[in-house]
Structure formats: C-alpha cells, structure tokens
Structure 1
Amino acid sequence: MRTALVIGAGLIGTSAALSLTSRGVTVHLDDHDLDRARTAASLGAGTDAAPDGPVDLVIVAVPPAHVARAVADAMVRGLGRAYLDVASVKGGPRRELEALLRGTGQDLAAYLGTHPMAGKEKSGPLAATGDLFEGRPWVLTPTRDTDTEALNLALELVSFCRAVPIVMDADAHDRAVALVSHMPHLVSSMVAARLENAEEAAVRLCGPGIRDVTRIAASDPRMWIDILSANPGPVADLLAEVSADLDETVRALRALQSEDETARKEGVGGVEDVLRRGNAGQTRVPGKHGSAPRVYEAVVVLITDQPGQLARIFADAERAGVNIEDVRIEHATGQQAGHVQLMVEPQGVSQLTQALRERGWAVRT
C-alpha cells in the first residue's frame, strides 16, 4: 500500500491515517466538514488535497447510517483499488450497499467490511492518536466474493495499525458487539442517568465502582444514536434479557423486606443467583494479552497530587523486581491526594510492600 484515501476525519479515520502516514503511506483526507479534514492534516495525518487518481485503499470512516452511500459513491467514482469501512455495525450496511450498487456495474468484490475494536469517550480528529489500535482486535468480515487484493490491503492496514485481525461473519459480529459494546453502553447510561438529579451529598460519595460503571456514558449521544439505529434488534433482545433479570432482582429485594421468613429466604436466593451468574460471566472476560483472566492482588499506596509520584512508585517497583500488571487510581474527595492500586501477582505482594515501605510510602494490602 502506497496511497490511501480516508473519508471521514473523525477519531477512527484520523487515527488510522496517522498510523498509515507513520509507515510512509501517502494519505488523502476527505470530510464533509472541511475544517475537520484540515485539522487532521495539521496533526500529520495526511493531506486534505484530493488524490490525482485512484488510490490503493479507500477507508470509509463515517457513521453506520452513511456507510453504504459513502462506499457506493466512492466505488462508482472509481476512487480506489479496494474499499473498506470501519463502522461498528456490519450486516446492515453491507446489504444496503449491495442494493445501491445494483445496475451500476459495480459489485462487492473490492469491498470489505471491518471494525477496529478501539475508541475513546471523546470524538473528532483532535482525540485521534497513531497508537489507538495497537494490540486491539480488528474484525474483518470477508465473504466468498471478496477479492484477495482487497483482503490483503485490509490486512496490511491492520498490520500498519499494529492491531490484531479477527475474521467473522458480518451478522455474527453485530450480535457480538451488541453484547460486549452496544448493550453495556446503554446500561451505563441508565445508571449514570440516576445521578443527574441525585442529591449533592450522595454524589460526593462516588467512588471507583460508580466511575467504572458510568465511564462510557460520557460518549457523544449523537454518535451512539447512529450506532444503535444500525443494530437495534440484537441490542433490544439483550436488553429484554437484562430487563427480565432486573424484574427478578427487584422482586427478590422486595422479598427481603418481608416479615415472612420463607419469602426472605427466596429473596436471598434470588439476589445470590444474579450475583453468582455475574461472577461466572465476569470470569470469561479475557485478561492480560487476551488470555484467561488471572487473579491479582492489590498493593494500595497513598499518593499526593504532585508531579512524579507515579513515576517514583513504578521505579521503586522495578527496583523491587515486581511487575505491575495493572494500575487503578482512586482520588480522595475534596483532597489533593488519593490511592493508587498496584495489581500484582500474589507472590509479589510481600516483596513489593516491604520495598515500598522502606522507601517511605504509606502502603496497605
């Protein structure tokens, strides 16, 4: 791949363009908002000038509702040798594209639907980074009709972005992302909505649990309306299952208020059931490097809000010979301090705790 055209200079399109330009590919940027294309170009993602002729790969990075028309327009105009999109829904746009191309002399051989499983709460070119996709799954949905050239160019793009290619059927992909992305986003938003009119005294008690659950609720609603509108069926099916669990859990909690001992026991059983099923589901979430999740222990260190605190902790952990597997930070309410949780292998807890205490850190496990 020597040349590419990115249509849609948002977070995903600009991040892909940054990755390609860093590998020496000449990238042309196009967006209906000229300022976005200019901004992306100013960040080093390519040029906002139109290509002189067909490029090797056209990357369509527009919302799902506009994918089919954008790809069809690019194909009819002959803008590239191969075409792919990066939208989060695959089945519907592909069927719509097939319908749009009827009678145009074009077919789907040069097209491949893809979806990089990466993103941020913020959107737009200013949020883009060249390493956004590094180590992340990038789904490819080829069919028997897909040209080898189109597939190879898509794989080259994934390689340049240092992502991990995963081949799936388009409709299977849509059901999967409904489960792991679209439905959780709506549930996160529903939980966050409870905070909108909550008393200030209650909101001040927010800790890492509520922050974890509501983090993705900060995303742009307009973007998510586009996504959910393109995949409503699978998401609605999953929410119906969640709704049934909620109804059962509400009944169980009400039973715990009963004066009848039998009813209370049934309530305990109902709550325990959903919690245990939650435990079982959580253990299936891939852990480090995509492997089965491992159990780590937390070494908790009190830190102040000053430059260099985290760097010092990491350096001291290195001297102790203990690898930090994950890091979480909990900020103290109303204070310039907080706790950093260093997740380590169980056998490293004692060694790290002793080393940090010897260097003056306030540590608890």
Structure 2
Amino acid sequence: MNATDPTAGLPVWAEIDLDALEHNVRTLRARAPQSDFMAVVKADAYGHGLLPVARAAARAGAGWLGVAQLAEAFALRDAGITTRLLTWLTVPGSDFAGAVRRDIDLSVSATWTLYAIAAAAREHGSAARVHLKVDTGLGRGGASATDWAALFEHARLLEAEGAITVVGIWTHFALADAPEHPTVLGQQERFFEAVAVAERIGLRPEVRHLANSAATLVHPSAHADLVRPGIAMYGLSPVPQIDDDFDLRPVMTLRARLALVKPVPAGQGISYGHVYRPEEDTLVGLVPAGYADGIPRNATNVGPVHVGDRRTTIAGRVCMDQFVVDLGPDSTAVAGDVVTLFGAAPDEPSAQDWAAATDTISYEIVSRIGARVPRIWRGGSGAGAEA
C-alpha cells in the first residue's frame, strides 16, 4: 500500500475518522453527565472496526464497552483492552468459563443462564458478574414480568453462595426513537418497578441502565446510572425525523474509484435487466463496489453518489462487485477519479440519505459494509489501514 496515500490502488474503501468518534463520545457524555457511559461496539463497531473504535471510545472517556456476542468480547480482552465490558447474547453451550476468566460481564434473561454462568464461576474460583435483563415492553430479550421475581430470587441465592455478583439490571426500549410515544415513559415505569422488586428480594445492583442512543439524546429521565449509545457514537442520528444533528459528526466515509468511463448512446440498457436507459447520449462510469461489499441491491436506480462536482444516482442494477453511474454527456471524469457513496461533507450524500433511498435505517447502511472493504483509520493514536 502506498505510504503517502493508503487508498492508492484500492477499488473501494471506508475512511474512519477517529477524531470525529471521540468528539461524539464526549458530546454524548455531556448529555448524561451524571451517568456512566457504555460505548456499544457490537458488529465490528457498526462496521467501523472493533479494536480501533473501542480504543478511541475509551480515550474519549467511555468507562464501559458493550458487544452482542462472546467472540467480540473475547477479541477485545485478548487484544489487551481492560475497559469494563458487557456482552448480552449467549446460548446453551456458550463459553461462559472463557468469559469469567476474561472478566467479562454477562447478561442474563433466564434462570438456565444463571446456573450455567454460576457453574463456570465455581470452576474458575471467582464470582461471575451478571446483569439481569428484564423485558419491559420490547417483547424481545429479557425476562417477562411474570418471571422477574423468580429470576431475582435465583440470582440472590447464587450471589449469597458467592458464585455470581449482580452488577446490573437493564432493559431496552422499543420506541425511544419516537420521543412522544407513550411506551417510552411506560417502559421506564415498568423498569423501575422491576428494580424495586429486585431490591425487595435483596439485590443491590451497581448500575441500572436502559438508555440507548435515542434515549441518551432526547430522554434524560431514562439516563439512570449508565447510558449505552450505539449509532449516535458513529455520528448518525437515531431520530432523523428531528431536525437536529446534536453536534454529532459522521465517522465513516465510503469511497471508490472509477474503473472505467465510456460513452453509451441514448436508450442503451445499463447493467442486468436493462432497468435503466439514458434519455440522451451520455458517459457512464463503472464503480467497482457491489452487494458483496455491502452496497444494497435495492439501491438500483436510487443510491446517491458524488462524482467530481456532480451528485447523481446509481444507474441500473447493483451487481455483486460493481455498479454503474450516469455521469452526464459533459462529464470530464476519468478512470481513477474518486466516487463518494456517503460521507460527512455538505455536498456528499450521507448514510441517512442512503437509508432513505433504500427504505432502511442508517444502522444497516454502515454495519453492512463488507469485510473485503479496507478500513482506513484517521486521527487518534489508532490511525492506520487494514486491507
């Protein structure tokens, strides 16, 4: 790779601005100054790179990291990252012993998990740290209200034995991104009811937490002891319907280079199925990125891109490794010119623009960028490149 330009020769790459990420962490921390801060870095840090992002978040003051799967948590610990760490999706047979050995906090929604973790803790000879998850209305993970008391009672028995320590009680919102929805306050009320039940049984959790990105930004009553921002940390709003960028800076910019520029006549079908035909003689550019790289196939004819001084859209069907753009008859673009799919500059499409064009959310746009797309980290002490 070229030492002066790490993108030289790359067909497509993602630039990750670690300075922007650190700024976002500090901005979000200021929104909840009385609460601890968990940086959610699941799914390879939403596609931004697990280890560089985790280190940057910790530099900016994140006292906790959160991931969905044990493998992600193990990768963080095995890389020498010592920040407090929670993981929340496990199944029977998961390596609970490996988690206890690495000082990883574990989420528990059912009694089977409690006893599996306790067995691993006994084997290791030290108490496992657990966060009891309660379902307050999302209807996904967490113990149902009818099971709260039983879960808490089993946890209290295991805690008295010394097998576990109940570090936290937590839940997750269903509609925090709809600030006026009545479920937001309703879930908060049910959550603190659950906490009260746990306390009557004798549990004294260190942290109570329920605020995701949206709640961190617009629901201060939900901040509790710990907030858990995810998408907002990457500079994308969880509430795009609100006309406020919350002083967040987009962290990922996705770029490619034109592999070919050529003339095509009016009416010529472009790409598979010929679902695009230019109305006049024009120039088209071939962009070497496709759905194998994470470009949504349903971005066909709608995905926004920026080439030179022109914003245009994908022309024709997105293929596995490439797509075409209509550059216009007067374009001066040549092979090698940079194409920006989304970024942070005012004239560039954003990840939210892509989300709107493809009927999804910005979370999916950034997290789906494939492993074969090199990440170029800029800023912070973690800057560098990974092919």
TM-score of the superposed pair, with normalisation by structure 1: 0.31
TM-score of the superposed pair, with normalisation by structure 2: 0.30
Which structure features the higher share of helix residues? 1
